[in-house]
Amino acid sequence: MPTVTLADLRTRLRTRMGEATADVSDADLDWSLNSAKRRVQRQLSLYWVEKTVSFSTSDGTRAYALSSVAPDYHSVLQAFIIDGTTRVHLAFIDRAQEIQNYAPVTNETKKRPEAWLRFGTNIRVAPTPDGVYTISLDIESYLADLVAGGDRDAITDNAQEMLLAEASKLLMQDRVRPAEAQAWREQYAAEAKTWHDDMTEEEMGNTVIVSRGINTYTQIPGYARGKQF
């Protein structure tokens, strides 16, 4: 696998845009590349940003700040409660279900949590814990921004074409060069589609979808993220 650093991306970005070093600063390049990297992570389910984090509940507290639980939080995939050496799945609920099914904390009978939701900047568990429990979250996280020239990560190494296309688009928009921005936007869209198709094939166990007609889809048992086409 090729190794691609921030310094490599700066050089390639200037070359592709036909800009000299004096015409575009490293600061501008870094802003565009990190903005592009954040978009890639938001748009695609990239497996190398998945990880597991854990936190402990406390008696009487239902809400826990995401900034403490997972400062690099992007989205939760699954939640579990750890009972000894056993992981027990916590059901996902939304805010309406929390209000309907669980009494307010002030008059609730506290017990072992059985469900979770994200509300605002918090992870909530319900019912309100009656003590200390270990909650494990499988999450998608944001990778750290690129700062030094030698910085690199799995996205720079694997998705550099997407980064360069999106970063070029952002820089061309800043310079009010709409035609060039549109060309880079189209290249990004093509790269993103390739990534999406590859990921869909992996998630579906290399199963071929035989029909994409209107209001039809192929349902695959065990399909991880439940997407329909």
What are 117-149's pLDDT values in tens digits? 989 889 999 999 988 999 998 888 888 899 999
- Predicted confidence band at 21 (pLDDT cuts at 50, 70, 90)? low
17 and 76 housed in the same domain = no
Start-to-end CA span in the chain (Å): 32
62 and 31 housed in the same domain = no
Q: Tell me the per-residue pLDDT of 162-200, one tens digit each, with 9 for 90 and over.
A: 889 899 888 888 788 888 888 888 888 888 887 776 665
Structural domain includes residue 20:
yes
* Whether the predicted pLDDT of 161 surpasses 70: yes
Of the listed ranges 89-98, 137-146, 205-214, the one predicted with least confidence: 205-214
Per-residue three-class SS string for 21-83? HHHCCHHHHHHHHHHHHHHHHHHCCCHHHEEEEEEECCCCCCEEEHHHHCCCEEEEEEEEEEE
- Name the domain count of the chain: 2
- Predicted confidence band at 150 (pLDDT cuts at 50, 70, 90)? very high
Mean pLDDT of 74-94: 86
Structural domain includes residue 192:
no
5 and 63 housed in the same domain = no
79 and 128 housed in the same domain = yes
- Predicted confidence band at 210 (pLDDT cuts at 50, 70, 90)? very low
Cis peptide preceding 127, ω within 30 of 0? yes
33 and 56 housed in the same domain = no
Residues counted in the chain? 229
| Lookup: tokens for 171 | 């820089």
pTM attached to this predicted model: 0.68
Residue 91, domain extent: 50-141
Q: What value does the mean pLDDT of the chain take?
A: 80
Structural domain includes residue 26:
yes
Structural domain includes residue 152:
no
